[in-house]
Structure 1
Amino acid sequence: MQACDNKMPMDFIQELVVEAAVLQIDREKLFVDMSRVLAAATCWQERAAKVFAHRGQMSEFEDIMRSAAEISVILPSLADVEDAVLMAKSWLKNSEPFLLSSSSMAPGSCPVLKLEALKGLILQSKSLKISLEEQRMLEIVLKNCEEWEKVAYSALQDVQCLCNASSLGDGKDNGLIMRIEVLIARIESITKSGCSLVFDFAAIPKLQNAHSMLLWCTKVFSFCPIVPSFEDVENLMKTAEDFSGTCVSGLLWSSLIDGVKWLRKALGIIPVASNFERCKLSDAEEFLAESKARDISFPAVVDQLVYANQKHKVWQEQVHQFFCLKSQEQTWSVILELKELGMAVAFGCPELDMVLSEVKRVEKWKQQSVEILERFVGNGRSLPSALQQIIWALEKALHYIAGKSQSYGARNLCMCCAGYIEDQEFTTCSMCHDHYHLQCVGSALGDLKNAGLYICPYCCSLVDGSVYQEGGGPLRFGRRRPELKMLVELLSNAENLSIRVEEEGTLQLVVKQVLEYKTCLREILDSALSSSGRNLNVITEKLIAAFKASKVAGVYDDQDNDDLDLALGRNLWRINVNRSFEALEKPTMHQIHQHIEEGLAISTPCGDYFWQKLTDLEHIGSQWADQARKVATDSGALGLDKVFKLITQGENLPVVLEKELKLLRARTMLYCICRKPYDDRAKVVCNQCDEWYHVECMKLLSMPEMFVCAACNPEAERLSMLPLTDHERSTGAKLLEPRTPSPRHTKSRMKHSITKFGLKQNVLATTKNQTTSFSRYDKVDRLQWQTRKPFRRAARRRSEFESLSQFIHIQQ
């Protein structure tokens, strides 16, 4: 019953059937079924043994495995069948890439396969218990690979034989180039077929390397009949350095490498090459001798070397002839042609060094000339043209300071930029007839089409000297002008050159005119600096002409420019001083001092006319000012008539001393019953007439709540005034300034309030120390008020009349 419910081993079933036969119960249905199952299992086992014996197909093994599933017995061979099927399927799966490579698929669609892996699969297939068609297919693939490798190594062997060729020549006469081309085509075909097999053949990189090497060889042989570029030969050498392997170790390879190295050196010394490395003539002849010893020949390059040697010798002869000429005949243009020709065709030699040295000296001189004449060399203008423009500028400058005539070129220069007037629109001064570009004068001229006559700033300056008040005029140079000593040095260097330059004669004329201009300018400057300044108009006219000439001249000199600035400064100072003297209003003391300081800054000589006038005015003004300040602070010691006289003197001085005059006029104002000028003593003001009175003169012991002077209240004989309480001090007596205080009494209200409050405290402090709280006027005091106050009132009324002296200032 257990055997019927579960799968049991076949041996166990056999034992049960045998035991049932012994017990004679084998006829029972249970044992009959068991016998039938045992018979089916035995039949299956026999069939499995036959399939294993003749290495059946995969289908037979799969059919046996399906039939085993219907037998409810554990079959002994079933595990072997299953293992054989699993091994076969695993082998098939590993063989799939190799099977695909043998199909009609494109080579690029399959990954590169390992040949050793293919051999391993074929060896593994021999241990399989199942017969497979794929095994035969893989054997065919392996056979094809082995045959290809045989062909590939045969081609490589031919390449190696070709590399050992000894006779090269130019590659055509001995058929070497044809053999190389045939071998290249063969290698290309073998490589293509090998790549189609999609295996990593070790011979493929060797074939590719050999193919590249053979192509390189054909490229080398292609250079034999031509003269290649240096870049092509250089690239060929770089390619050769990348080759590796046995196929590049033969005699052919080494001969070609040596030939290419020689070719590169030869092209490097031929002057027509792009990166011509200048060598000596002896080196070129040595290269020619080496070409005969090479296995490979480059006849075109050899012919080029021979031709280069011939051209070099011809050039050498031309150089010798040039330096045999006289110094005046050795021109710059000829040596420049020799230099350019030598740089193109000559090898290294002393003649080339000599030519280059002379050209370098001249070019250095020309560069120095361009740097010095930077202002004039520009906008495509040549050095001779720049020198000619300087000559014209100097002619114009000499015309201004020496009255010399001008050439046509000098007359047609713009006064601002020293350029030709024909280059732009221009206008002409109606007085001096000088030309100005409209762009140069700019906004200073406005719309010239509607402006009518134009007068340049220099002609206007003949009247007011305004052209140099701001430290310069309308002439302006975008770049610096050459210095005189630089031009002299430049001429000296040109004379020391062994080659004659065409600019030398023009430069000599420039230096000659510069020295002439300098002489004329020095005469004007020496005259202006030594002048006392009396004849101001003549000096001004000459200095303006010198200033204009210095700006238009194409050169400058530091000493002359400094002296011109000094002369212009002194002249402008004299003009300003003269304007102060001739003005409608007299100069102030401040202006006098300012003129003196400016005169000291420009080192004005003591003998100068205007300097002496200034110092005299300063002395007179200072002397009177000192006396006025003393009188203003003498507290009335000097009488009014003398004060008035001093004021009259001050007003009649040729210089204005307003501050001291105000002090003296304030000194003429009298206050209080003592009739004294304003001072710093304590005061009190009348609440009715606002007149000031000294506390001391009024004999007040304390500040009253209200103060009315005796002149305003003559009937009051006595005033009863009590000391102020604290509240009264804060709101008490009227402590105000007079309505018309003296000119000196112009302090702020707050300052006076603080002063009055301090005085009030002093009076209170004095009151505390006194036993009497109030001082009464006696009859003498009463009489004094009655006699003096009407005079004060009368004086106030008389101030309305114009007949009074202008120096008495009575406040209204």
Structure 2
Amino acid sequence: ILDLLKKSELARDKCSKVLSGSVFFKNVEELVHEFDGLCSINIPELNILRQYHVDALSWISRFNDTMIDVREGKDQRKPISDLSSLLQDGASLGIQVVEGLPLVEIELKKASSQEKAQTVYAARTSLDFIEQLLSEAVELQIEAEKLFVEVSETLSTARCWEEKAISILASETQMYDLKDLVRMSVNIDAILPSLKAIENTISLAETWLRDSEPFLSAAASAASSGCSLLELPAFKDLVARSKSLSVQLQEPMILETFLLDCERWQRDNHQLLQETEDLLDTAKTDDGKHSTILPKLMDLITRVGNARTYGMSLGLNLEELPRLHTASLKLG
């Protein structure tokens, strides 16, 4: 009995020392085995360490099973859930499992990175997200895994696309180059920052082209006589809008030339209308003796008629046209 009491005191003393500092699995296991014969004696400190030991063994068993699942990679979500639970339970153990817990942390980071890598293909993510993901893979030394190699290739392709898009957006370009970029973007599993700008550039150009169709027809003298006349302010606005297009098109130049022609016609006919008014005023006071009136009158009739015919062919609602019509009637 005396020997048993001495062993009990020794066990209590050793257990108290272990419990007073950091409790490591190896130390606890040694004490539990050393005092295994004292099961019949109630030593609180030893009982605590025994429970720690049981909890640690249970945790280690779960750890081994989880590591097998991780290596086999059957279900990506299950290992993450198991590893998270294992990490949380391991941190709450009263005993430090030196080798196991750091491994769980590393494997959890790996599994989380692998899961995030899968999301790159499930739903498009930003280039910054992909770069951060690849940095994590390098840190965890899993960048050579097939999944991360593919993600790296995606990032490289996206970066090349971005460089080309930025270069194209920096200057006027052909419509087919822009549309080619859009077609290429379909096969890139990433959010491309410049894609919206490319699409907007195409959309603005296509909208402008649709709006310009009737004016282009008028410029080509293709408007039928039954068509309603086009408004000059809308035409000028259309030409002004073409200045902001970032696409190389022939149509803006055609319409600019056409607008200049219309404006030149307007200037010329302001002068013609003034000549008509002056001649009509002179004719009112003419006594028939001035033989120069009639030739001038005939010349104006011809010029007004020609100007009106040409003006009507422009297909625009020009304010000079009704004035020319009135002048033609007055000239007879």
**Under TM normalisation by the shorter chain, which class is it?**
0.5 to 0.7
Counterpart of 2:132, as a letter, is E
Distance 1:103 1:110, change over 3 A: farther
- Computing the radius of gyration from Cα coordinates, the structure with the larger value is 1
Output the CA distance in 2 between the equivalents of 1:209 and 1:50.
57
- Picking from 171, 183, 187, the partner of 1:54 is 171
Distance 1:89 1:106, change over 3 A: closer
Quote the offset at 1:180 in angstroms.
Answer: 1.1
SS in 2 for 1:164: helix
1:143 is matched with 260
Alignment of 1:39 onto 2:156? yes
Once the two structures are superposed, residues 442-485 of structure 1 have per-residue CA deviations (whole angstroms, 9 ceiling, x without a partner) of: xxxxxxxxxxxxxxxxxxxxxxxxxxxxxxxxxxxxxxxxxxxx
- Picking from 122, 125, 137, the partner of 2:239 is 122
2:297 is matched with 180
Output the CA distance in 1 between the equivalents of 2:272 and 2:313.
18
SS in 2 for 1:108: coil
Structure 1 regions of 5+ residues with no counterpart?
A: 216-812
Output the CA distance in 2 between the equivalents of 1:36 and 1:83.
27
Output the CA distance in 2 between the equivalents of 1:98 and 1:175.
43
Counterpart of 2:195, as a letter, is L
Q: Are the equivalent residues in 1 in contact too, given 2:239–2:256 (CA < 8 A)?
A: yes
2:135 is matched with 18
Structure 2 regions of 5+ residues with no counterpart?
A: 1-117
Counterpart of 1:46, as a letter, is E
Quote the offset at 1:104 in angstroms.
Answer: 4.1
Alignment of 1:72 onto 2:179? no
- Picking from 110, 114, 133, the partner of 2:250 is 133
2:29 is matched with none
Quote the offset at 1:107 in angstroms.
Answer: 4.5
Alignment of 1:168 onto 2:286? yes
Q: Are the equivalent residues in 1 in contact too, given 2:301–2:328 (CA < 8 A)?
A: yes
Q: Are the equivalent residues in 1 in contact too, given 2:265–2:311 (CA < 8 A)?
A: yes
Quote the offset at 1:4 in angstroms.
Answer: 3.1
1:202 is matched with 319
- In the TM superposition, 1:213-224 aligns within 5 A as 213-215=330-332
Q: Are the equivalent residues in 1 in contact too, given 2:221–2:314 (CA < 8 A)?
A: no
Output the CA distance in 1 between the equivalents of 2:231 and 2:177.
33
Output the CA distance in 2 between the equivalents of 1:88 and 1:207.
37
- Picking from 115, 119, 123, the partner of 1:6 is 123
Quote the offset at 1:31 in angstroms.
Answer: 0.9
Q: Are the equivalent residues in 2 in contact too, given 1:107–1:195 (CA < 8 A)?
A: no
Q: Are the equivalent residues in 2 in contact too, given 1:107–1:197 (CA < 8 A)?
A: no
1:640 is matched with none
Distance 1:107 1:150, change over 3 A: farther
Once the two structures are superposed, residues 237-282 of structure 1 have per-residue CA deviations (whole angstroms, 9 ceiling, x without a partner) of: xxxxxxxxxxxxxxxxxxxxxxxxxxxxxxxxxxxxxxxxxxxxxx
Output the CA distance in 2 between the equivalents of 1:180 and 1:107.
32
Q: Are the equivalent residues in 2 in contact too, given 1:168–1:174 (CA < 8 A)?
A: no
Distance 1:33 1:100, change over 3 A: same
Q: How many residues align?
A: 214
Quote the offset at 1:66 in angstroms.
Answer: 0.2
The sequence identity of aligned pairs, in percent, is 35
Once the two structures are superposed, residues 561-588 of structure 1 have per-residue CA deviations (whole angstroms, 9 ceiling, x without a partner) of: xxxxxxxxxxxxxxxxxxxxxxxxxxxx
Q: Report which structure shows greater RCO (CA 8 Å, sep ≥6).
A: 2
2:212 is matched with 95
Q: Are the equivalent residues in 2 in contact too, given 1:25–1:31 (CA < 8 A)?
A: yes
Output the CA distance in 1 between the equivalents of 2:246 and 2:131.
29
Quote the offset at 1:151 in angstroms.
Answer: 1.4
Alignment of 1:113 onto 2:230? yes
Q: Which has the higher helix share?
A: 2
Output the CA distance in 2 between the equivalents of 1:2 and 1:189.
72
Counterpart of 2:327, as a letter, is A
Q: Are the equivalent residues in 2 in contact too, given 1:107–1:196 (CA < 8 A)?
A: no
Output the CA distance in 2 between the equivalents of 1:160 and 1:69.
66
Quote the offset at 1:105 in angstroms.
Answer: 2.4
The alignment's C-alpha RMSD in Å is 1.5
Quote the offset at 1:163 in angstroms.
Answer: 3.0
The TM-score, its normalising length taken from structure 2, stands at: 0.62
Output the CA distance in 2 between the equivalents of 1:15 and 1:39.
14
- In the TM superposition, 1:251-650 aligns within 5 A as none
Alignment of 1:156 onto 2:273? yes
The TM-score, its normalising length taken from structure 1, stands at: 0.26
Counterpart of 2:320, as a letter, is A
Quote the offset at 1:18 in angstroms.
Answer: 1.3
Counterpart of 2:273, as a letter, is L
Output the CA distance in 2 between the equivalents of 1:105 and 1:41.
46
Output the CA distance in 2 between the equivalents of 1:201 and 1:38.
57
Output the CA distance in 1 between the equivalents of 2:309 and 2:221.
15
SS in 1 for 2:230: coil
Output the CA distance in 1 between the equivalents of 2:121 and 2:315.
58
- In the TM superposition, 1:652-667 aligns within 5 A as none
